[in-house]
Amino acid sequence: MKASPNPPARRAVKAAKAPAAVIDEYLPQNGNSGYRVSRYELDLNYKVAINRLSGSATITAVALTELQQFTLDLSAALTVSKVSVNGQRPTQFSCRGGKLRIRLPARLAPGAALVVVVRYGGSPKPLKSLWGDVGFEELTDGALVAGQPNGAASWFPCDDHPSAKAAYRIQISTESAYRVIANGKLVAKRSRASQTVWTYEQSEPTSTYLVTVQIGVYTMARLSKTPVPIQAALPARLRRSFDCDFARQPEMMALFVDLFGPYPLANGYTVVVADDPLEIPLEAQGISIFGANHCDGSQASERLIAHELAHQWFGNSVTARRWRDIWLHEGFACYAEWLWSENSGGPTADNLARQHHGLLRAQPQDLLLADPGPQHMFDDRVYKRGALTLHALRDRLGDEKFFALLKDWTSRYRHGTVITDDFIGLAAQYSYESLTPLWDAWLYSKQAP
């Protein structure tokens, strides 16, 4: 875990201004107020050899308040050459501090439509964060985007916060030797000379951090006998190891559909195995990204494979509205690992819970699950204590009510955003007795029960 960076130096301002609204205290520089985006259309060209990205983003939004100026999140590594709003040039635009600032010649009324077109380019690179480098990253031969939690701005202008969901059209042109994988359905592929244009349509509402592009020399493999279509993009050299390590994905999918409800996306599930090692795998909407080190024929990554698949329900479809509630992503996906183990011949969830409970109690008792703080968002204790919270709830409710609750949760908030209180309120409908002591012990106390 990296130490917190030094705070930025204060800058003089010409006149006193109201402070910018903080959308999320965990990422105070991210997110933007005054409008809501419904759709992004990215039309981009990427040159792999020189790491050069260029093109345009068309952003369709609606004004939520009277609006004359607004901002978008965008990396300083990218240069904006032109902006238009509703077909007209703005009075001015500028980029600084990770924000594209746009000022309009006249105020827009609440409810007014916004169509913002931004032309930009540059050499994209990961953004520095408390959690390491996030976002657009060059590979040995290709590129990937690992956007969690605030890396989307490393490659397109956006309202980068999980509460801001939208639809996407992603069109990327690159050298024909490479395959491009992005979110949603591949609706067009056109090759001309040495270039190929790939166009994907992601219709389900998606948080910016879950939008990805994966570029590499990949072959495609489709798994058979699956209740939901599953495909993989991977280097040809890893196919035999993939067939060993990822063979049980169809069983995982069938189990999770049975326990959590219907798979939430229309276009199936894609696994990308990069040709480089990655420290950890990562989820995106409809996609999970693994490194070559997770595909070595040892079957050692089966737990991680289950975890990333479970995120399609918990985190991707049902998304925390604020990062303090990240246990609603990671605790649920971690518990899905234990459920997979229990249903596939491994240790039961109860055995795993007892094991991890002992380990948790041996660690520092200074983390509040319902509000772990930005530095501890991805602390393993959030994952394990979150899973233990769900196991305690399962023990209290019994299997029938517990799994009915999970299906209700994924159905009621499908493609929506939630906070911890939403889960507490829904769980109360499945219990004859108060669950407050359970929540107080697991969510709102630092000491592990």
Rounded distance between C-alpha atoms, residue 274 and residue 281, angstroms: 10
Confidence tier at 12 by pLDDT (50, 70, 90) = very low
Residue 47 has pLDDT above 60, yes or no: yes
User: Which class is domain 320-442?
Assistant: mainly alpha
Q: Does domain 35-216 have CATH number 2.60.40.1730?
A: yes
Helices 380-397 and 399-412 sit at what angle, rounded to 10 degrees? 120
State how far the alpha carbon of 126 is from the alpha carbons of 3, 147, 420, in Å: 17, 9, 30
Where do the CATH 2.60.40.1730 domains begin and end in the chain?
A: 35-216
Residue 10 has pLDDT above 70, yes or no: no
Helices of type H across 99-248: 239-245
Confidence tier at 20 by pLDDT (50, 70, 90) = low
Residue 250 has pLDDT above 50, yes or no: yes
Q: What is the pLDDT of residues 187-196, one digit of tens each?
A: 999 999 899 9
Residue 7 has pLDDT above 70, yes or no: no
Where do the CATH 1.10.390.10 domains begin and end in the chain?
A: 320-442
Q: Does domain 219-312 have CATH number 3.10.20.30?
A: no
Cα 158 → chain centroid: 14
Where do the CATH 3.30.2010.30 domains begin and end in the chain?
A: 219-312
Q: Running DSSP on this structure, what letter comes out for residue 101?
A: E
pLDDT of residue 91: 86
Strands 195-207 and 185-192: antiparallel
